[in-house]
Amino acid sequence: MALFWRIFGLNALVLGTATALLLWAPVTVSVPVALAEAVVLIVGLAVMLVANAVLLRVGLAPLERVTRRMATVDLLRPGQRLSVAGHGGVPDLVRAFNDMLGRLEDERATSSARALSAQESERRRIAQELHDEVGQSMTAVLLELKRAADHTKDPALRADLQHAQETTRGSLDDVRRLARRLRPGVLEDLGLISALTTLTTDLSTHTGLAVQRRFDSDLPKLDQQAELVLYRVTQEGLTNVARHAEATEVAVSLFRDGDHLRLQICDNGRGIGLAHEGAGIRGMRERALLIGAKLELEPSPQGGVQVSLSVPLSRNGR
């Protein structure tokens, strides 16, 4: 039934019931209106309004569900659909809303894939320039400083040149580390486990966090995109721990769980609390959608946050 006829029928039912009561009930209205008659009319009007409100509430409930879902839907959490039964105006509207969500999710996934692909290409370009241009220039400066320090006879000047050498060497290490973060060459050359091991080792070295690793030895083979998503999610998760968690320990696990590959990052920090998800977590969710994975954040047994990424092997490995 169309929404118009549904509302019309509900109001017609209430008005018809009221008319029948006036026709067959021993109720009269005198002039002037007696107190008892006024009470009866007011009570009857109240009953009509309540009945009409209840019927309209029932009839328009599906629209309220659609409104609430429209206000809370998150395209980074796909599959949020409203249940629908029957045919007509309101059920057809709910079906159209569910179809619209499906199209929006597909479009969001496609646009995110294009954006992330462009982002990875730009990262590779910047990393290459840092390595080839900035890195080589700083290496040349380092050699010149060493040559000057070796030929000078002034002890004070030699000490200053050696200090400049150390500063330049530290900056060169920072540039190389930044280039590795932008373009994980070890992931392409040695595989996912070696890349994650290097990533966690660097984190422990530069932040002092105690890192525990658990990587199963019989992990299935994944395609290149799935490995890159796992690496980037781990990288972003560890960055969040180092920056915001105030943790002293973090555990990184990668293991097979039935027909899924599961990545877990657990810390013993202060937890996420009531904070809203930032750009980092939203980016992790977008990457997870690229390979049909599911990302979840929940309290960890150590009191901090546990990030879980579940990757279906049917699409991304064997």
Strands (E), 173-304: 210-215, 249-257, 260-267, 294-299
Retrieve residue 155's tokens.
């002890």
* Cβ neighbours for 280, distance < 8 A, ≥ 6 positions apart: 236, 239, 240
What residues contact residue 175 under an 8 Å CB cut-off, 6+ apart? Answer: 130, 134, 135, 138
Cα separation, 188 vs 64, whole angstroms: 51
**232 Cα distance to chain centroid:** 14
Average pLDDT, consecutive stretches of 10 residues, N- to C-terminus, the chain (318 residues): 66 74 65 68 74 73 78 72 70 80 79 75 77 80 86 85 87 79 74 87 86 87 86 88 86 89 89 69 83 86 86 73
pLDDT tens-digit map of 217-234: 888 888 888 888 898 899
- DSSP reduced 3-state for 308: strand
Q: Is the dihedral of CA 264, 268, 274, 275 positive or negative?
A: negative
Which pTM value belongs to this model? 0.63
Residue 128 is predicted with a pLDDT of 76
Q: What is the domain partition of the chain in residue ranges?
A: 3-72+82-106, 184-318
Q: Answer for the pair 241, 269: CB distance below 8 angstroms, yes or no.
A: yes
Is the preceding peptide bond at 184 cis, omega within 30 degrees of 0?
no
Tokens linked to 120 = 């990875």
Fold of 184-318: Heat Shock Protein 90 (3.30.565)
